[in-house]
Structure 1
Amino acid sequence: MTTESVQAVPRLAADDVPVGSVSTRTLAAEWARLWTVRSTWWFLAAAAVATIGLGLVAGSSADPAESQGDAAWAVSAISAMPAQFALLALAVTAVAADYATGGIVLTLQWTPRRGVLFAARTIVVVVTTTVVAVVLGFLSALAGYLAASPTLRLPVGEGVDTLGTVAFVLAASSALAVGLGFLLRSVAAALVTVFLLILVLPLFLLAAGQPWMVDVASFLPGSGTAFLLLGGGPPGMSTEAAFAVLGAWGVGGLAAGWVRLARDDAAR
């Protein structure tokens, strides 16, 4: 009687798999996940209708006597405000919906490295919303230009500046929305918080008129957004301050979301 020796095939432990391979697969999975749910398309449709529709309205209502030679890029900044909320809703839903369905547990079993999952989901969502905002901003300006032709112009240099500002605003705001999704783990709670920070609280504090309330409003992300896109906001706010405030909220939101994901049980 002979005994055959069976050699076990060595298997790689989870920590031995190259980070690059895991990151690539996770990015592909997050990309597929984002584009295979209907809510993504509904949010994008709402953003497209808002931006392009405003562009057409602005262009068709432009007075040739008063607007002759003006740049159509202003429409991009104005239309980015309503479109922003549809895109931020997309960002929140893309992150927090997994917790409502319990899918986050399976996701973390497939990708146990939470840092990889956090980075992949953040990159996919933020890049998507930012690129979509820039494309829609361009289409909005183009729609206004064509509707008002030959009243308005499309100077390239001004377009680069305007679309660059739109890109920064959406990237920072989307980063904040993603962070809140990971932090609060609830679509409703994260959406309410985003709307409070971006729209409700800045308007309320500025309308109240109390000096300390105006000071508080100047540190909210909505004030930075309004200043960069519309030129409004708290008295005395500068472009540098608006960029700094909005960027700080984006980074801070991601940091808070990462701490919650890294330290707490995903099922809680």
Structure 2
Amino acid sequence: MTVLHARAVASEWTKFWSVRATWWSLLTGAALILGYSALSGVAQRYDNDPQSASTIALGGGFYLAQFAVIALATSFVTSEYAGGGIRSTLLWTPVRARVALAKAAVLVPVLFLSGVVLSCAAMGLAEVLKDGHGLPTSFSAALTTSVGMGGYFALLGVLCTGIGWALRSAAGTLVSVIVLLVPLPLIVGSLGLAELVPYFPGMAGVNAMVESGQPNPVTQSVAPYAPWVGLLICAAWAAVALAVGTGVLRRRDA
């Protein structure tokens, strides 16, 4: 049975932080969600559609910041194929599954922490700029949004690495993930299968950031499950993607 190898994780951790793409992606994600929250917070003073700071932060994460997460996680895998570094990686860690798991192990804590910190910062900024307008944000709503966004970003990163291993193409991975997150659920819903929409990873991620019984601000419907179930659904998608990607890596790069 293959286990996670500390040396492989340490190697991937060093590679992750040694390239400028990592820093640019994290900074871009921060700029996007904070910019969205700032504009939305100010707009609450004049808008007839009142929102809470947690809803504003959720919107910034789903509509903008998650694409920086997708770019970061995708490049973490596909850049090795583009630059030829995958040869050295597989020579250093010949057990293919360890390579895939090591990259996922690096992304999960970084993206979870990023999601929590950015959501809290976005909520705080929106609350200040709303200046008492819009809807109030309860502690429980803020906690659900911050933990949900952290969990969603972490699992989204794993999903991207799995698809990246399978396709080995940055463009192919980006298109596949984005279609899976946004257009595909909308298409399925328009075909009369609206009950399936909450079980796609993007919609499940949004539901994980919303308190039980409250409407999802993207679909305007109440999730048929609790927020933690949304994270389990995202985890299932991520696990399947990683398993498929690892299987392809074993067969193709044996």
Q: TM-score when scaled to structure 1?
A: 0.79
| Aligned positions of 1:53-68 closer than 5 A | 53-63=35-45
Contact in 1 for aligned 2:58/2:206 (Cα 8 Å): no
Deviations 1:41-89 (CA, angstroms, capped at 9, x unpaired): 2222221111111111122122399899x75222221111110111111
| Aligned positions of 1:168-247 closer than 5 A | 168-206=151-189, 209-212=190-193, 214=194, 217-229=197-209, 230-233=216-219, 237-240=223-226, 242-247=230-235
Structure 1 stretch displaced more, 106-115 or 242-251: 242-251
Task: Say if 1:235 and 1:155 are closer, same or farther in 2 by CA, change over 3 A.
Answer: closer
Task: Say if 1:218 and 1:193 are closer, same or farther in 2 by CA, change over 3 A.
Answer: same
Deviations 1:189-240 (CA, angstroms, capped at 9, x unpaired): 111100110112122333xx3225x455454323323444544449785134
Structure 1 stretch displaced more, 36-45 or 188-197: 36-45
Contact in 2 for aligned 1:39/1:90 (Cα 8 Å): yes
Helix, strand or coil for the counterpart of 1:211? coil
Q: TM-score when scaled to structure 2?
A: 0.83
Letter in 2 for 1:95: V
Letter in 2 for 1:239: Y
Counterpart position of 2:253: 265
Letter in 1 for 2:36: L
Task: Say if 1:253 and 1:61 are closer, same or farther in 2 by CA, change over 3 A.
Answer: same
Equivalent position to 2:109, from 118, 124, 127: 127
Contact in 1 for aligned 2:107/2:154 (Cα 8 Å): no
Task: Say if 1:155 and 1:140 are closer, same or farther in 2 by CA, change over 3 A.
Answer: same
Helix, strand or coil for the counterpart of 2:182? helix
Counterpart position of 1:5: none
Q: In structure 2, what is the Cα distance between the partners aligned to 1:55 and 1:140? A: 6
Deviation of the 1:124 alpha carbon: 0.6
| Aligned positions of 1:30-109 closer than 5 A | 30-63=12-45, 71-81=52-62, 82-109=64-91
Q: In structure 1, what is the Cα distance between the partners aligned to 2:123 and 2:26? A: 18
Task: Say if 1:33 and 1:74 are closer, same or farther in 2 by CA, change over 3 A.
Answer: same
Contact in 2 for aligned 1:40/1:90 (Cα 8 Å): yes
How many matched pairs? 242
Deviation of the 1:244 alpha carbon: 4.5
Task: Say if 1:65 and 1:34 are closer, same or farther in 2 by CA, change over 3 A.
Answer: closer
Deviation of the 1:165 alpha carbon: 1.3
Task: Say if 1:65 and 1:53 are closer, same or farther in 2 by CA, change over 3 A.
Answer: closer
Q: In structure 1, what is the Cα distance between the partners aligned to 2:47 and 2:220? A: 32
**Percent of residue pairs identical:** 29
Q: Larger radius of gyration, structure 1 or 2?
A: 1
Contact in 1 for aligned 2:162/2:246 (Cα 8 Å): yes
Consecutive unaligned residues of structure 1, counting only runs of 5 or more, are 1-18
Contact in 2 for aligned 1:227/1:233 (Cα 8 Å): no
Q: In structure 2, what is the Cα distance between the partners aligned to 1:138 and 1:153? A: 15
Structure 1 stretch displaced more, 78-87 or 168-177: 168-177
Helix, strand or coil for the counterpart of 2:253? coil
Q: In structure 2, what is the Cα distance between the partners aligned to 1:182 and 1:56? A: 37
